Amino acid sequence: MRLVKLLANLGYGSRKEMQLAIRNGWVTDRDGNRLKPDSKTAHEDVLFDDEPLDPAQGVVLLLNKPVGYTCSTKDHGRLVYDLLPDRFRTRKPALSSIGRLDKETSGLLLFTDDGTFLHKVISPKSNVPKVYELALDRPLKGDEAALFASGEMMLESEDRPLKPAQLEVLDDTTARLTLHEGRYHQVRRMFAATGNHVAQLRRSRIGALGLEGLAEGEWKALSDNEKAKIFA
C-alpha cells in the first residue's frame, strides 16, 4: 500500500493532507530520513511527526471503560470513542466495539477493525466467557445461583432460555457472574427477574483476558498472545 493511502486509512488526514505532510518532511523512518509517497518502509519503522504510527489494520484494542460513556459514535454526551485518539474515528476499515457495555457499566471493552475477529469473539460457537463484578441494592435470597445455572431461566419478552451462567457469591450484596452469551442488558435483567436491582456493574474479564495494569479510561493495543487469551 502506498504511504499516502496508508496514512489516510489510519485517520491521520485526507490523502491530499498526507501528500502535503510527506512533502513537508513530517513522515520519516526511524533514522530520520524523509520518506516519499512510494517508499517501501515497513509500517513499524515509519514515524509521523516523530511518533510511531498507530497499529496497522487488524488491530484489537482493550479499553478500561469508565461509567458515564456510551458505546456509540452518534449518541449525544460522552462516547467511548472520546477516550481514544480523534483520528481513530476515521480509520478505514472502521474501528468497532466488540459487543457493548451500557452507559452505567464499566470495565473491559474491546475494539477492532477486523470483522472476522469480531464475529469470532461474539459467535456462540466460540463460547467465550465474560465475567462481571456486581453490587446489588438488596441482599441475595440464596436461590439465584441455582436458577442462573439451570439453563431454564427465561427473560421477559424472550422465547428461549438463557445459557447456564455461574454465580459466585462474595457477600450478601456483591457477586461475580460469568456469562457465555451476550443478550441485551442481560446481567441487569437477570437480577431484575429475581426482584433485585444491580447498583454497580463492571466487566472484569473476557476469556482469560483481564484489565491488569490498565487504569480506568486507559487503552492499549493487544499483542497476539493477549488476543489468544480471549479464547483460552
CATH of the domain at 27: 3.10.290
On whether both 91 and 44 belong to a single domain, the answer is no
Domain assignment present for 169: yes
Whether the per-residue pLDDT at 12 is higher than 90: the answer is yes
pLDDT for residue 19: 95
Cell numbers found for residue 63? 479499553
Confidence of residue 164 (pLDDT cuts 50, 70, 90): very high
On whether both 117 and 81 belong to a single domain, the answer is yes
How far is Cα 212 from Cα 229, in angstroms, rounded to an integer?
Answer: 13
CATH of the domain at 111: 3.30.70.580
For the chain, the maximum distance between any two Cα atoms, rounded to a whole number of angstroms, is 69
Distance of CA 169 to the CA centre of its chain: 26
The dihedral sign for the CA sequence 196, 197, 202, 203: positive
pLDDT for residue 39: 87
pLDDT for residue 176: 98
pLDDT mean over 43-47? 96
Whether the per-residue pLDDT at 75 is higher than 80: the answer is no
Domain assignment present for 75: yes
Whether the per-residue pLDDT at 167 is higher than 80: the answer is yes
On whether both 88 and 143 belong to a single domain, the answer is no
> Taking a C-beta distance cutoff of 8 angstroms, is the pair 202, 132 a contact?
yes
| Positions marked catalytic | 102
How far is Cα 99 from Cα 182, in angstroms, rounded to an integer?
Answer: 8
Identify the residue whose cell numbers are 459466585: 168
On whether both 158 and 201 belong to a single domain, the answer is yes
On whether both 103 and 71 belong to a single domain, the answer is yes
Rg, the chain, Cα only: 21
pLDDT for residue 58: 95
How far is Cα 218 from Cα 106, in angstroms, rounded to an integer?
Answer: 12
SS3 per residue for the chain: CCHHHHHHHCCCCCHHHHHHHHHCCCEEECCCCECCCCCCCCHHHEEECCEECCCCCCCEEEEEECCCCECCCCCCCCEHHHHCCHHHHHCCCCCEECCCCCCCEEEEEEEECCHHHHHHHHCCCCCCCEEEEEEECCCCCCCHHHHHHCCCCCCCCCCCCCCCCEEEECCCCEEEEEECCCCCCHHHHHHHHCCCCEEEEEEEEECCEECCCCCCCCEEECCHHHHHHCCC
pLDDT tens-digit profile of 175-220? Answer: 999 999 999 999 999 999 999 999 999 999 999 999 999 999 999 9
- Domain region containing 13: 3-52
pLDDT tens-digit profile of 87-133? Answer: 999 999 999 999 999 999 999 999 999 999 999 999 999 999 999 99
On whether both 107 and 160 belong to a single domain, the answer is no
Cβ-based neighbour number of residue 87 at 10 Å: 13
Predicted TM-score (pTM) of the model is 0.93
pLDDT for residue 165: 98
How far is Cα 209 from Cα 211, in angstroms, rounded to an integer?
Answer: 7
pLDDT for residue 32: 95
CA-to-CA dists, residue 15 to 12, 19, 37, 50, 229, angstroms: 9, 6, 10, 19, 37
Q: Phi and psi for 9 in degrees, rounded to 5?
A: -65, -30
